[in-house]
Structure 1
Amino acid sequence: MMLRKRAWDMMRDDFPVVQEDASLAEAIRVMRKSMVEDPDSQVVVVRTKSGKLKGAINLWKLFKAVKKSVLKDENLKVDGNVDWDQQFANACLICTQMRLDDYLITDPPILKPNEPILLVLDLFIKSRRDWALVVEGDRVMGVVYVTDVYREMTRDMVQVF
């Protein structure tokens, strides 16, 4: 039964999206809101103004951006007495001005809706990512996470044992 599963069987069709002109802070806000409903959510799809896929930004890229903005102040590395609340406020301000382009994954792992589960798993292994976009034509239909594949694979395994 497991080998009959396709990407569209496992994909999540409700995923966070921002336009290409959104700030980094907006991407963070959209991902955080998505995580309330779906704690596994870790990818924001970035679309052009015409609605086509421009790329994606994942949790790790957001961490790098926030780290870069928080650690921008050289005083953090020199002085042990840091007002972390003020530093965080400064970082938030910097994030609102940072562009997504600097952190955008322009070649995200892509699956076709009818690709079987073993090809999905193979893509995760080859791309070294734990997510992939399900795309048909120019349209992003959903996101598949490695946790979704794991659940599908182990569902049948648990029933056998």
Structure 2
Amino acid sequence: MLLRKRAWDMMHEDFVSIDESASLAEGITVLREGMKASPDNNVVVVLKKNGELRGVISVWSMFKAVEDLVLKDEDLNLTGETDWDRAFKRAGTASCSASLDEHIEEDVAIFKPTDPMLVVLEIFRKKKRSWALVQEGGKIIGVVLLSDVYRELSRDLITQF
């Protein structure tokens, strides 16, 4: 049964997406809202103006972006007196106005809906990511999360014993 599973058996069709011209703050907001519906989801699909895939913004790329903004704050000084409230406020303001553009991950793992479980496992292993996109006819139709693959594997393996 396990080897009959396909990418479409595991994908989420209710993924979140955002336009490539959005700000970092908008990306963070969209991801947070998406995680309310699916707590394991840690990516936002980024689309070009024409609706084609540009890439993704992951939790990790957002952490890095926010970290870069905080660490660049001239008020942040770990060796002396630091006005943390002021530094955080400035970092928050910078996050709101920062472009999403430089934080988009364009090296994206993509499946076809009919890709079998073995292909899914191989791509997850090679890419070392916890997510991949499912594309059909040039359009993103879903997201597969590593946690979904694990659930399918463990469900079928447990029934074998």
Same fold (TM over 0.5): yes
Say whether 1:32 aligns with 2:23. Answer: no
Distance 1:61 1:41 in 2: 14
What is the identity, as a one-letter code, of the residue corresponding to 1:38? S
SS at match of 1:87: helix
Distance 2:123 2:141 in 1: 17
Residue aligning to 1:76? 76
1:79: how far off? 4.1
1:52: how far off? 0.8
State whether residues 76 and 83 of structure 2, in contact with CA within 8 Å, keep that contact through their aligned partners in structure 1: no
Distance 1:66 1:82 in 2: 18
Residue aligning to 1:156? 156
State whether residues 57 and 103 of structure 2, in contact with CA within 8 Å, keep that contact through their aligned partners in structure 1: yes
More off after superposition, 70-79 vs 47-56: 70-79
Q: Give the TM-score normalised by structure 2.
A: 0.94
State whether residues 73 and 91 of structure 2, in contact with CA within 8 Å, keep that contact through their aligned partners in structure 1: no
Distance 1:82 1:118 in 2: 52
Distance 1:16 1:121 in 2: 23
Distance 1:90 1:75 in 2: 9
Residue aligning to 1:128? 128
Q: How does 1:1-12 map to 2 (within 5 A)?
A: 1-12=1-12
What runs of 5+ residues in structure 2 fail to find an aligned partner?
Answer: none
Distance 1:48 1:131 in 2: 20
For residues 53-102 of structure 1, the C-alpha deviation after alignment (integer angstroms, 9 at most, x for no partner) is: 11111111000000011111244234443233332221111112211221
Residue aligning to 2:144? 144
Q: Give the TM-score normalised by structure 1.
A: 0.94
What is the identity, as a one-letter code, of the residue corresponding to 2:13? D
SS at match of 1:30: helix
Q: 1:157 to 1:14 in 2, by over 3 A?
A: same
Distance 2:17 2:140 in 1: 10
1:11: how far off? 0.3
Distance 2:28 2:114 in 1: 31
The CA RMSD measured in Å over matched residues stands at 1.3
Distance 1:120 1:78 in 2: 44
